[in-house]
Structure 1
């Protein structure tokens, strides 16, 4: 098709043929009227195109990746005016990866003519039209021209007009809404829920606004059809117009203004165009889980896996059993967390991924686990399947380790699989759960390989006394994890809540050390440990909720940011100043790293002050339905999320989830790469 475009350019550069009536062109054209004109009313003319063979096609108002729209030059009686051409629903023609919006076979374009009051239609001078258009096959394009004439007083009705009118895409009686989020154009097109939409496709009339060949995804939500279309190279418009194809030859014409486009809904149009996005989401989920193995926030859990891998260096069956048990634990935990999140959202709860870390009781439970694992590594007690003894692996211990790894590690997935998790919030339950399963499989994949590939397993050092020392060393990152969780308890519930959590953890560890201490007799250690654990659990369930008194929002160290709310954001944007909004949480390591390295910097503050930037922060440490809804609108399942609103209005730019130190300074100075002095939408 590149040759097609080249031919078109070459032929345009050559001399045009002499104007004719269009009858002998590769696509012949006729100018016809729907009867004689009437003064003071609209009169409809038709441009009827007839290809000389099935190989030739013409183009819609927006031709797509290649081609040219027709150009009309009217010579009308004084006071008469021609309106915009009205087209049938075009067809999508893909040639060599280029998507073209075309008409194959005969087609008709209608043009309304406004006839003024008092016009002498019987003696009106002739109407002439010079029409330039492109006729193409899949191998060559030929620019063609026709000079057409019509005498209004002699015009007769054509019986085909009824069918031609039926072929034209009718206008919707309500405005649609559009929003640019990341690298997606999102549309909410009003369409009754009862309307059948077997094979939807949106033909956007704005040139270069969208990627013509990219797959489009569709959801139904009430009386709206929601469309997500990857952006092209065009600028953000004030209005988006186009034709929504409902089925072959059937569609509606719409106009969309900027507005809120809801998320969620039921997937429609199960065609090949929608499948790549699901498959890419699966790949993203798997890679997100795989990369998660090297994230710093997951290092304490990697220590557990390292101990299990060393144990698996023994017999073949034990290694495979451990690998399968660990994988089952990881995948089951991811599926359970995903299913719980989807169920709560279906029930009306505004929650997102990593919602478990917004619950004080869950964080206390993780704190108890971290303290217990630290004590285990230090030798305070030995639990079969977790302790290092050099014996055969324990399937139950590996399964429990997988559960714990996934439960603690999943909040770190944001930077690597935001698109996949955002898709999971929109897909049906079955497909969404497959995404969560792919995340778990990616997280468990290295351990699975070591369990089933003996050469890889032979690279591990032999079990020995070194493992005891190694276990003591691994107590350090686990202790640091416990301290981080204690800090999070303070952020969620205050000082009293954090101290109570540490006390409960200590009491439970004391009970475990009694229960698993072989120096004590069974009856004695059982009674003591059960009593201690019972007291701890009772206090945790009954007493600690009363201690929850969250401290005030953390103040920015350098940037004087105001708390986020929809009203505050609207007010800031109305001021005409640039606005930077970031969404964070105390339990999000990526968020904290970005804040330390790129946001809370003196250089950033100075650049913001000079540009008059309004900084705004959304703290998602605790549940906040307004923030959750805002994240969902922008296709984000969790934090971090960074949005830059340019001065004077316009669509926001979604920044990468891993910021560079100079990015915000460059945006404030209007010199960010690709912005040309003003922010343009792009995804991170």
Structure 2
């Protein structure tokens, strides 16, 4: 009917335009403009987009949303007296860029005696995304973001989430009306430019004056939130008089720029308003510092810190650390195996002995190279592989099987046919190499003196230099065994072969069993009772599988094949069970003030320092034997506990048994690649920590406590 009532050419053009519009719209699927939520008992977070589809060259808004449980809060870009700002790390296609977070005006959240700057209930953090003009319609724009935030009530809990949005690229952008309205509402409430000049000047020795000439005459409940956290005492009152706020200087006051940013909030006739300031700073204040209310305790850092090392010094430290590592308790079980191996080859030719020593060296170097490559590539720390419960369980199984092999329950790689008879067999050289590899694996729970600084330095260097430092550590670790193999005079001191070697070999099984028990305990600390069950089941199945293969060794080919197949199926099923069961469980939370140490976080340290309490932080892990030894020798001693109680020391524990990015970052900050790390913070806000030695004595800890308390 339309075609008959209009000129034919006009009707054709209308039909053509309608068809083109449908063609443009058809390829664009209708998808949600909000990511899958990341939810905890405290926060529900999503990534929200104002567009269902984007166009080439378009700029549009996304926002990280946080819905906070009652009583909990997250933080502004300057968190105030404690806390940590929300951060977003973007992974974007080539040509796509993300702007900075557009921060809403914060609230002053009082947590006596502190004041934090942050958000309660619900907050949107907008970010502008720019799409390149070269983007092609029909393709998909994937926005990936990893956000981290700290959420606090009476305790503080770091949280994070990964968010992904897949937005189709179309010739014209498609607005998500509801999402855009939410983001526009949040952006409309952002602090507006003040539009008047503000100035920060000195007012006596400990006060500042912030003049606000354009503030409305009836403004009330005025508060200034500085972006710089070394400007003012956040908890102090901010009285307003004659158009100027009186602020209290921070005890760590420092400013080095001629202007400073911040936000002023106030009530204007019942309406909450926020203005963004860029205040001019009086020249006399630049780089000035107010005298602290309490002189910080003298901090003595043990030389040399990692940042003062040179490559040559780091290589020397690594070699020395490797030598000392041979004396650490975690390596003792493998030292027994090494001693047995040399006893077996002591009466062989000098060339054979040297070959065993060099094969041990090769095993050490190869394993160190593999671990070092993983540490450098992944940014992990020394001992990182023991943060995997399945690997810990595998090592427990291996130690158990080695123990039963030594005790004579079964033989791996052939029997020892008399003393010296098996030296030419393949098992000898392979055993020497594998002993070196095993020594490295079980050495990783330990950190020796000199070693921590060297490896911390390594992680700040290019890959080639970092790898050379790890190899120097490997050479130091292998040096005693290699030297012994090239010193026939020392080998001749060993007694002649005899029955004593069989007895000694069997005795060496028990350190292996002890190591297996310890590793099972580590798995329990990582994954709870399920971890212990998984370890015990794995040991049972591995032993049964080896017995099944061994007991059918003299049978027909078909029976041996069936036994091998059953063993493989059992091991495969058990491996799946171990991986599923050995999931790290939540670590028990122990608050300061109970019998045990409190749970470490940077915010908790800041809170305690602001209260005037010295803080001792123990960076440890269940798999770190050096840590456990220090705990038994020093930290659990009554004289240390009494000193902590007398001096009011707050004891916090940073448990790295399972991987924790915040702990890893702090270790790197202090030039360490692994635990242990011991820090003593004076009871003065912002004061730097003293780094204690890696091997503790009660006297060392008590003296550090006295220094931190200013005694």
TM-score band, normalised by shorter chain: 0.5 to 0.7
Given that residues 631 and 638 in structure 1 are in contact (C-alpha distance below 8 angstroms), is that contact kept between their aligned partners in structure 2? yes
For residue 417 of structure 1, report the CA deviation from its aligned partner. Answer: 0.7
- Work out the CA distance in 1 between the residues paired with 2:504 and 2:387: 33
For residue 469 of structure 1, report the CA deviation from its aligned partner. Answer: 0.4
- Work out the CA distance in 2 between the residues paired with 1:322 and 1:516: 28
Q: Secondary structure at the match of 1:608?
A: helix
Q: Secondary structure at the match of 1:581?
A: strand
Are residue 541 (structure 1) and residue 570 (structure 2) matched? no
Partner of 2:563: 528
Shift of the 652–329 alpha-carbon distance from structure 1 to 2, 3 Å rule, reads: same
Shift of the 478–388 alpha-carbon distance from structure 1 to 2, 3 Å rule, reads: farther
Q: Which residue of 465, 471, 491 maps to 1:457?
A: 491
Partner of 1:294: 327
Shift of the 419–255 alpha-carbon distance from structure 1 to 2, 3 Å rule, reads: farther
- In structure 2, stretches of 5+ residues that fail to align are 1-251, 257-285, 291-306
Q: Which residue of 439, 442, 449 maps to 2:476?
A: 442
Partner of 1:553: 588
For residue 625 of structure 1, report the CA deviation from its aligned partner. Answer: 0.5
Please give the residue correspondences for 1:226-241 in structure 2 after superposition, counting only pairs within 5 Å: none
Partner of 2:705: 668
Most deviating of 410-419 and 363-372: 410-419
Partner of 2:386: 357
Please give the residue correspondences for 1:126-275 in structure 2 after superposition, counting only pairs within 5 Å: none
Given that residues 388 and 467 in structure 1 are in contact (C-alpha distance below 8 angstroms), is that contact kept between their aligned partners in structure 2? no
Q: Secondary structure at the match of 1:582?
A: strand
- Work out the CA distance in 2 between the residues paired with 1:375 and 1:344: 36
- Work out the CA distance in 2 between the residues paired with 1:275 and 1:606: 36
Q: Which residue of 349, 354, 372 maps to 1:320?
A: 354
For residue 629 of structure 1, report the CA deviation from its aligned partner. Answer: 0.5
- Work out the CA distance in 2 between the residues paired with 1:373 and 1:440: 24
After superposition, the C-alpha distances for 1:429-480 in whole angstroms (9 at most, x for unaligned) are 1111111111111121122122222222222222222111001111111110
Given that residues 553 and 560 in structure 2 are in contact (C-alpha distance below 8 angstroms), is that contact kept between their aligned partners in structure 1? no
Q: Which residue of 377, 381, 384 maps to 2:413?
A: 384
Shift of the 590–465 alpha-carbon distance from structure 1 to 2, 3 Å rule, reads: same
Partner of 1:18: none
Q: Secondary structure at the match of 1:494?
A: helix
Partner of 1:231: none
Q: Which residue of 657, 666, 669 maps to 2:694?
A: 657
- Work out the CA distance in 1 between the residues paired with 2:332 and 2:544: 26
Shift of the 380–429 alpha-carbon distance from structure 1 to 2, 3 Å rule, reads: same
Q: Which residue of 618, 624, 633 maps to 1:597?
A: 633
Please give the residue correspondences for 1:499-518 in structure 2 after superposition, counting only pairs within 5 Å: 499-516=533-550
Q: Secondary structure at the match of 2:619?
A: strand
Q: Secondary structure at the match of 1:482?
A: helix
Given that residues 514 and 526 in structure 1 are in contact (C-alpha distance below 8 angstroms), is that contact kept between their aligned partners in structure 2? no
For residue 517 of structure 1, report the CA deviation from its aligned partner. Answer: 5.6
Most deviating of 287-296 and 527-536: 527-536
For residue 526 of structure 1, report the CA deviation from its aligned partner. Answer: 5.3
- In structure 1, stretches of 5+ residues that fail to align are 1-236, 242-253, 259-273, 346-350, 680-684
Q: Which residue of 571, 588, 592 maps to 2:607?
A: 571
- Work out the CA distance in 2 between the residues paired with 1:528 and 1:663: 58
For residue 256 of structure 1, report the CA deviation from its aligned partner. Answer: 11
Partner of 2:314: 281
For residue 320 of structure 1, report the CA deviation from its aligned partner. Answer: 1.9
- Work out the CA distance in 2 between the residues paired with 1:522 and 1:458: 46
- Work out the CA distance in 1 between the residues paired with 2:289 and 2:381: 29
- Work out the CA distance in 2 between the residues paired with 1:404 and 1:420: 23
Partner of 1:171: none
Given that residues 491 and 551 in structure 1 are in contact (C-alpha distance below 8 angstroms), is that contact kept between their aligned partners in structure 2? no
For residue 546 of structure 1, report the CA deviation from its aligned partner. Answer: 3.9
Partner of 2:398: 369
Most deviating of 400-409 and 556-565: 556-565
Shift of the 603–454 alpha-carbon distance from structure 1 to 2, 3 Å rule, reads: closer
- Work out the CA distance in 2 between the residues paired with 1:275 and 1:538: 51
Given that residues 323 and 476 in structure 2 are in contact (C-alpha distance below 8 angstroms), is that contact kept between their aligned partners in structure 1? yes
Are residue 474 (structure 1) and residue 474 (structure 2) matched? no
- Work out the CA distance in 2 between the residues paired with 1:617 and 1:629: 16
Are residue 580 (structure 1) and residue 616 (structure 2) matched? yes
Given that residues 420 and 435 in structure 1 are in contact (C-alpha distance below 8 angstroms), is that contact kept between their aligned partners in structure 2? yes
Q: Secondary structure at the match of 1:456?
A: helix
For residue 666 of structure 1, report the CA deviation from its aligned partner. Answer: 3.0
- Work out the CA distance in 1 between the residues paired with 2:537 and 2:577: 14
Q: Secondary structure at the match of 2:652?
A: strand
- Give the alignment's TM-score, normalised by structure 2: 0.53
- Work out the CA distance in 2 between the residues paired with 1:277 and 1:547: 41
For residue 419 of structure 1, report the CA deviation from its aligned partner. Answer: 0.8
Partner of 2:273: none
- Work out the CA distance in 1 between the residues paired with 2:415 and 2:602: 48
Q: Secondary structure at the match of 1:617?
A: strand
Given that residues 580 and 614 in structure 1 are in contact (C-alpha distance below 8 angstroms), is that contact kept between their aligned partners in structure 2? yes
After superposition, the C-alpha distances for 1:232-259 in whole angstroms (9 at most, x for unaligned) are xxxxx98899xxxxxxxxxxxx97999x
Given that residues 307 and 388 in structure 1 are in contact (C-alpha distance below 8 angstroms), is that contact kept between their aligned partners in structure 2? no
For residue 510 of structure 1, report the CA deviation from its aligned partner. Answer: 2.5
- Work out the CA distance in 2 between the residues paired with 1:470 and 1:256: 70
Shift of the 240–367 alpha-carbon distance from structure 1 to 2, 3 Å rule, reads: farther
For residue 551 of structure 1, report the CA deviation from its aligned partner. Answer: 5.8
Q: Which residue of 647, 663, 668 maps to 1:627?
A: 663
Q: Secondary structure at the match of 1:656?
A: coil
Q: What value does the CA root-mean-square deviation take over the aligned residues?
A: 3.1
- Work out the CA distance in 1 between the residues paired with 2:288 and 2:338: 52
